Structure formats: C-alpha cells, structure tokens
Structure 1
C-alpha cells in the first residue's frame, strides 16, 4: 500500500517482471495540471472561479519511482492495483508453478 495524495489515477504506472514490481507516478501542481489540460495561466474554465495560489504547500511535485524485488516469482497475470482516496493498493500473488527444465546430457 502506498500513500499518493493529490496524484491523478492516470499518472500512476505499475509494471511487473517475474520477481520485481516498479511503481512510478507524477504529482502535478495545480498550474501544471491546468497546463496539461491546455488551459493557460490566467485563463479560467467556463463556470469556474480561479483558485488562489497556496502560500505554503507541504506536497512535493514531480515524478518519482520505486522498485520492489520479491524473493520468489509473482504471478504477473493476476497482478491487481486499485487507487482510492489517495491510497494505491497493489496485490501481487506468488507464482504457484516452479519452472524447472531438465536437460539431457549428450555424449
């Protein structure tokens, strides 16, 4: 479970390999979010009031990434991620099958 307050769900990326999980996200400031939507500074959307700029913000803005390595393989096809109320929950079940290959020795 990761706390991601103020992060838009579309800005979260979850990737997995056999034994690792990489989560990356981007938190945009209010002005950056509007710019990404094509609204220039000073311009307001119809029927909305412009939000005043905060005097102090405790949030850090920008991109970040975290990676986790598991001691055993995970089942990538059953990987689930949900984001609600600023909390990202990722469920990564262990793989039940062990892939062992037997090789005949020639000679």
Structure 2
C-alpha cells in the first residue's frame, strides 16, 4: 500500500448520486481516488471558489494542481468524460455513436 494520496479527489457528499456516479467511474476503471466530504449548505470559501454554483461533485486532479481552481472540474458527466480520456482502458462508453449518446443520456 502506498503512503501517497491519490491524484483524484472527488469533493461532495458521499450520499449524492452524482458523487457516486463519479466514484463508480473510478472504480470501474480501477483508478485510485478519494472522496472528501463537503457540506454544500455551508461550503467553505475554497469550495465556493472551485464551484461558484455550490454544485457537487467537483473533481481535483492533484497531478495538475493541489489547490485553487486549476485542476478542478465541476459536473459529474464532465468528470466521467475526463476520467475516460485520462484512463481510456477499459472503455466505459460504447464506440458506436448512437450507443455512446444513449450511455451519456
């Protein structure tokens, strides 16, 4: 087991279906991640800086930046698309255009 923290941090509530969607993407791809809980009803300033609409989840890729807005992506669908591009195997989305669109839907 490594003593280093995973590069990917998912900020939000573990009970949120959108946080679970992003986490499931990581699990299915075998990508290390951590979920850090954030109270969106009273978010800290650093979270408001990376998610001005106070929406969860927000992903931070610490290989890009460990703080600030750099390296962050808000929106679970955008997060899953990022993880898919960064870790293309195994593919989570079908190759056929219509099937791909249906999977996104």
TM range (shorter): under 0.3
Length-normalised TM-score, structure 1: 0.24
Larger gyration radius, structure 1 or structure 2: 1
Which structure has greater helix proportion?
Answer: 2
Length-normalised TM-score, structure 2: 0.24
Higher relative contact order (CA 8 A, sep 6+): 1
